[in-house]
A and B are shown apart, each in its own frame.
Chain A
């Protein structure tokens, strides 16, 4: 888990800072430029990866940093996506500037309600309760056919209106919307995890009772983190609904929640970029497995990969990468430890 040096240091020479930022800049440039040359199918994979990367990073905030094991994170993703879709399909509201914030807000409200009840317990009980709530919402989506479309899901979500004359959505410019959202979310989450609030979350993960006796209102911290995570999951949910143009009850339930948890664990909890890598890995692997082996056997492959990762890959890819990167930085000069 993230053992990053929380103390930080602003005494680095500019070369070292540039080196620190290099991976972000280079990947950012790649993601910015490459898609213009991709065909539709690879572009859609990349779009999906970025959407799930946002989703996974939001879970990392509570799972990796705060140590809250939630198996119901898809609830906020799904609520946001459904809200977005319902506003468009059932109420005919098509302005991007209305439905998007409302959808995201719905995710946050769901997190506020569910978090309040779930945080009454901790540990494995918290795990079970969050799982139960996710399933509850999933079943509600199935039963409330008139609003949610029932088992078949909410279909026919059209493109939102940006209100810019002459603008139409294409695969490419939708991708850039998602990319922009990803960059903003990553930046914001980075700020949060590097702040004193973020540091406190790590402390809560490591030793919550001690944090209380040191003056922290740990319940309030956990609750706020939970809501923030719900909001960011909502961002992913809204983008998902917009991209696939449909929402189904399974997007609220355990299958989606455990998928995103796998992404966080395999990528490396507590690092932020780890889960983003985990998302890419899982989605690419799924494509590969479906093409080479069979899409029906994908869950089996995923389960095996998961078991192997948990048994042998402590800290996920992310921790290996960050250790490797720290060695590179030390080699090429940095006053930071």
Chain B
């Protein structure tokens, strides 16, 4: 059963066409990695899928429902959540406040104006669960700005997980993390997303191979090819696009 279907998706900024007529589907439970050199359009694709940017053409279907024109907050409630490549948190607030905001947002929308915060103790329990699984619970009263980059990155992922989404979009989840931390991070993610449908993009090929069961290659806004890890590793076109094939964690520039 397909969770995401994209038909003829195009996005241009003025004269610059960043995404060119993309069409693909994602089945439930799949773990799809989108790879491609810088400027291939990966983040733009994520922005369009999650609703931060409007499409120029094409349609997006989520579990059969068309979401092309829906604003981001509506998409979240349908089950589509994303994390950002650059940490996009509430820096001045404490960790626990950040987490509560994320969890609260996923609740069925209605305005709770007169019930005091304490009435939502189940939110606190959920926050505790999530933060403990990431080893962040002790630091919950620290302002997020004081956390390390890696901890902030974890929180960024936690935000996306807060709504127990049907489809999780992770934009370069290990971006900026040193190699050792990135491996640990990848393990943490793998455990957390076991039952979810995941679409992520990354430059780190170790992460890609350890997490994904299918890979899609994007180049200048077009899908070059798609397949299993083995197929992609052996694909000549992919090797041409990247400087040197199969090397992991290296800076991959445009061919």
Contact = CB atoms under 8 A, between A and B. Distances in A.
A9 B94 CA distance: 14
Interface in B108-149: 109, 111-118, 120-121, 124, 141, 143
A3 interface: yes
Contact of A213 (B72, B94, B118, B121): B72
A215 B78 CA distance: 10
A195 B88 contact: no
A168 interface: no
Interface in A172-218: 191-192, 194-200, 202-203, 206-207, 209-218
Contacts of A10: 118, 121
B157 to A, nearest CB: 13
A292 interface: no
Given A7-B96, A207-B88, A217-B109, A195 B117 contact: yes
B88 A212 contact: no
Chain B, interface SS category: mixed
A206 B144 CA distance: 12
Contact of A214 (B101, B113, B120, B121): B101
A6 interface: yes
A302 interface: no
Contact of B109 (A195, A207, A215): A215
Interface residues of A, number: 34
Contacts of A197: 111-113
A326 B39 CA distance: 49
Contacts, number: 110
B255 interface: no
Contacts of B163: 214-215
B72 A199 contact: no
A26 interface: no
B52 interface: yes
B59 interface: no
A157 B117 CA distance: 42
Contacts of A337: 141
A224 interface: yes
A8 interface: yes
A146 interface: no
Interface of B: 50-52, 71-73, 76-77, 81-82, 88-94, 96-97, 100-102, 104-106, 109, 111-118, 120-121, 124, 141, 143, 159, 162-163
Interface of A: 1, 3, 5-10, 191-192, 194-200, 202-203, 206-207, 209-218, 221, 224, 337
8 contacts: A194-B116, A195-B115, A196-B120, A210-B90, A213-B51, A213-B72, A214-B101, A217-B71
